[in-house]
Structure 1
């Protein structure tokens, strides 16, 4: 099926794709430009430390995340653990908690003046830090622990799905050959789930590499903080672009690893849906160990930080409930809502073009637009700054040549920059949602409408949009939520005196006063819960079907 589309639709699809792909091109071009003395100085002094710390952070978060997630995923998929129905969705809730909020809370709990060490000194009679050793939370190790607590659900979700889809006959065969449940796990279940595990580790690695707030709060120098300091501290866009390009290479390596792992999926036999899943009955110490492990993850990753935020809200309500909260909330609503609307328009435009054109060439714009989702926030910010700053300079120089007064930074110095960055970063979410909905619309409806003389524009208006409105709304909601929570790009691109809820909370975290931003932090947590609830319902429907 190939309908004749108007020229403006074809041209518009490619223009939108190239516009949203331009930050990636600009970043690469700027990174390849001749460097000044600053980047050479950084390379000879601190940059190797930043690179080593970033690699250690990725490796540490991946290893610890695997230790936390894989046992919980296997238990949820293969046992009849008490409270399993509640635990299997509670285990994904730490994704809703901003990492820098958890970093502040655990620093407050575990530092020398915190309640944990105070209790330890009361019990033992120790009086000073010289009397005992206590691990320093503000360190690379602390950052690894905090990020692993927040990011392990990525691996948990993928590993749990992989364990559920595995052929029960292979597991039973290993048991008949004398394997215990533990041996069967290491010899059969774990190797079969390896592609999904590698995918989860790659996602965790990309998120850990792109994290700015936690490593900044813990004063751990990484490539992410190097980009931020190079641009805001030294004002060198070229050096920041070169460091960003290094991060982009790491992201590409992680994505390539993930893509390669998915190629192996076809080699494994999956559950056909006709097999009866045998759940292992846990008893005695094994049951309590599994329960303790899963509830530990829920409590440390979500429940304890949430309760502390609620406590802050109650104790400091009069100070924290103020006009700034509403102003910055409105700022977040404005830029996030605008980005969500634009992203959904882009997704609808490109998805309809791909469906009606129906060839390999028509898929390219959607793939180009989706590229931005893989970029860490601060890398994206540098890529966005370059073309927008060039555009502003070109407009001002043109006005001066015409004898007019320059208009200033109308793009790179306004909230439009944030909207553009959010659209570049999160359009992939909207495109995926719209494409998925369109894929469920039967092509016979298109052919029937054409037979009745309906033009492509009328077909989109009368058939496609009404049928995919749920997918459009889901894409709109997801882009809005992701934009509300975005921090690194917002810190680099926001105009002067412009705060969002995310930057406001981070500012209070940096000033060791999170209690005064507890309402905003709770709003971000509640907003983050929405997509997790949607995801959990989707998984439940898949398991029941």
Structure 2
């Protein structure tokens, strides 16, 4: 009777048969590497004599502007995000529960939409300065006007108001999991609550702050619309104008290599900041410290301080967009052009999301089935695109896909006697490729998190019942990871809708999305024409914020259940 039972040792040593999954994962990782290789190849070809001009006049100014922008944004998001996280964690006051999720709302507004909104609001003839002049008794902008928002300080402030949740979210999670005994010991030694934050809370949360700041800086590097609207000549703008205006592809590739070096430095900084994170993990099982109850003026001041980033980073631009969109709708209704652009945006984002989910599931599942070092390298390579600015990634794809388009066209001429044209770029496949390479990391990370909750004993049981890798995925893993796939799909869909830099470079001719429509109208100064498109992007962008808020609320409830 024992002979019919599979040998346990042999079952443990058995490898799942799934070479197809390995090959598919390698191909997906290769798709992410191709744009970087194309940039390196193009950068070595020279730039038809223009590289000397770029190195002498364009690159130094762009580097200095980018460095100043990143330094300012990094400092401000660290201050705003950390302060907000400590405020809603260490203190209890009326409205704290609302602030906990409301502080995430600026994530719903892309940076270029905030810049677009404030450029109109703070224009010398706009509503804000008009009201101030009326209150002070001035009649003309020549008599009184506020400092121009089109400046480096303006760009730093507006970008920080949108990007601070990248610091707030991980830092608040770290504060929630810190041990109560550390805080209580500090309090028994006569340390004030402010000193507890400076000497205990802040050092323990330093890795989370560094991670959040690095993410915010990557988004700053990726920005193209806000920087251009606000007059900051960053590296991203230099890449775009070098290629589009000067038609200097090698020069743009060389500037892109400089940006990749900055990204590598940021990723290295983030990993360096997390090198000691194991010392804070042990605090996750300890009970969180009890927040201090505030009342009266102190409670009002705390709520007001926490509400300022929400009002400036979300409510003000969102209300402006709602008012302007309603005015535009009353005047002209929904134009056919806007409806076509909305359809383009939805179809493109939906198709790209489906492809990204399939590829992310392939990589994450292969990594689970083959947990050796080589597969871990493949998984890391497949997620590199998210760390690259969209403009850089799009330029690398433009080079590689453009070469393939030329090969297809030449082959069609030789074999069939007609010109195929730009098949891949003209059909939008190149743009879908950019979305895949850039957002694959979101899909891989979310799916991997969902699969990690499924015990590996389920895999062994399925194999013992005769299921191969595909059958195990279909019958076991997919039903148990639907929530993770849905969350990943939502995040990818919204990011595809908001993506501007890659869409500007790779969209087919006469093909517009809501993001490119907004960019074009704002570039021409016709802000009212783009209000409906901007509001639609913001409304869809709220969906992942709601998801993050629910996750954070569930984490808070689990912490509240810990015995105190």
The TM-score, its normalising length taken from structure 1, stands at 0.96
CA contact (8 A) 1:313 1:320 kept: no
Q: Distance in 2 between matches of 1:117 and 1:162?
A: 41
1:50 aligns with 2:62: yes
- Residue 386 of structure 1 corresponds to which residue in structure 2? 399
Q: 1:243 aligns with which of 247, 255, 275?
A: 255
Partner deviation per Cα, 1:262-310 (whole Å, 9 max, x = no partner): 1121233653545352211234543332221111111111112111111
Q: Distance in 1 between matches of 2:216 and 2:347?
A: 30
Question: 300-309 or 50-59, which moves further after superposition?
Answer: 300-309
- Residue 218 of structure 1 corresponds to which residue in structure 2? 230
- Cα distance change, pair 354–274 in 1 and its aligned pair in 2 (3 A): closer
CA contact (8 A) 1:61 1:205 kept: yes
- For 2:546, what is the secondary structure of its paired residue? helix
Question: 264-273 or 421-430, which moves further after superposition?
Answer: 264-273
Matches within 5 A, 1:59-458: 59-129=71-141, 131-132=143-144, 134-268=146-280, 270-275=282-287, 277-318=289-330, 319-402=332-415, 404-458=417-471
- Cα distance change, pair 523–127 in 1 and its aligned pair in 2 (3 A): closer
Q: Distance in 1 between matches of 2:81 and 2:368?
A: 38
CA contact (8 A) 1:227 1:240 kept: yes
- Residue 531 of structure 1 corresponds to which residue in structure 2? 544
Question: 484-493 or 61-70, which moves further after superposition?
Answer: 61-70
- Cα distance change, pair 445–276 in 1 and its aligned pair in 2 (3 A): closer
Question: 228-237 or 130-139, which moves further after superposition?
Answer: 130-139
Shift of 1:149: 0.7
CA contact (8 A) 2:177 2:286 kept: no
- Cα distance change, pair 219–456 in 1 and its aligned pair in 2 (3 A): same
Shift of 1:131: 4.4
- For 1:286, what is the secondary structure of its paired residue? helix
Q: 1:510 aligns with which of 523, 532, 555?
A: 523
Q: Distance in 1 between matches of 2:437 and 2:287?
A: 44
- Cα distance change, pair 520–453 in 1 and its aligned pair in 2 (3 A): same
Q: 2:510 aligns with which of 497, 514, 533?
A: 497
The TM-score, its normalising length taken from structure 2, stands at 0.92
Please report the RMSD computed on the Cα atoms of aligned residues, expressed in angstroms.
1.9
Shift of 1:331: 0.8
Shift of 1:132: 4.8
Shift of 1:118: 2.3
CA contact (8 A) 1:75 1:81 kept: no
Partner deviation per Cα, 1:435-479 (whole Å, 9 max, x = no partner): 111112222122112222222232222222222222222222221
- Cα distance change, pair 103–10 in 1 and its aligned pair in 2 (3 A): closer
Structure 1 segments of 4+ aligned residues over 4 angstroms from their partners: 127-133
Q: Distance in 1 between matches of 2:218 and 2:284?
A: 33
Stretches of structure 1 that go unaligned for 5 or more consecutive residues are none
Question: 97-106 or 213-222, which moves further after superposition?
Answer: 97-106
Q: Distance in 1 between matches of 2:416 and 2:143?
A: 74
- For 1:178, what is the secondary structure of its paired residue? coil
